[in-house]
């Protein structure tokens, strides 16, 4: 079987104060590449490290894979005997998503908007 393509990886952090967090990471050399500070979320990058900073959007830090075929990923995970927390679904905005937890309850989230599928 060929290797499953999970998509681009971003680590998403739940932050208490988006402004303070963005300021901190900028001092580490990160630059903002997406998101909207006024809406309490930004995407920042330094080298090959991409972080999403979210205030009020997520309950826990999570590993986020973007751009993959979420339905194929979900079927592959299930074929490996893994149980999804949220099976693949399409949201009102047209994005597809699925969610699984690792054995330590770390959240792994797959999310793809129609214009970003690889």
24-81 pLDDT per residue, tens: 999 999 999 999 999 999 999 999 999 999 999 999 999 999 999 999 999 999 999 9
| Domains of the chain and CATH, by start | 7-116 (3.10.180.10)
> 52 and 43 in contact (C-beta within 8 Å)?
yes
Chain mean pLDDT for the chain? 93
pTM of the model: 0.82
Find tokens 């590449």 and name the residue: 33
- SS3 category, 73: helix
Tokens standing for 56?
């009020």
Per-residue model confidence (pLDDT) at position 104: 86
Report the relative pairing of strands 49-54 and 7-14 from DSSP bridges.
Answer: parallel
Per-residue model confidence (pLDDT) at position 118: 57
- The yes-or-no verdict on residue 87 having pLDDT over 50 is yes
Rounded distance between C-alpha atoms, residue 97 and residue 28, angstroms: 31
Per-residue model confidence (pLDDT) at position 117: 64
Per-residue model confidence (pLDDT) at position 2: 65
């Amino acid at each position: 079987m060929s290797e499953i393509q999970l998509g681009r990886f971003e680590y998403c952090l739940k932050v208490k104060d988006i402004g303070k967090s963005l300021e901190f990471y900028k001092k580490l050399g990160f630059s903002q590449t997406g998101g909207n500070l006024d809406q309490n979320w930004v995407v920042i990058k330094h080298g090959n490290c991409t972080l999403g900073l979210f205030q009020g959007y997520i309950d826990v830090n999570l590993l986020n894979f973007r751009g993959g075929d979420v339905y194929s990923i979900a079927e592959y995970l299930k074929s490996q005997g893994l149980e999804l927390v949220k099976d693949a679904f399409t949201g009102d905005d047209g994005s597809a998503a699925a969610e699984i937890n690792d054995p330590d309850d770390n959240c792994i989230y797959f999310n793809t908007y129609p214009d970003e599928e690889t």
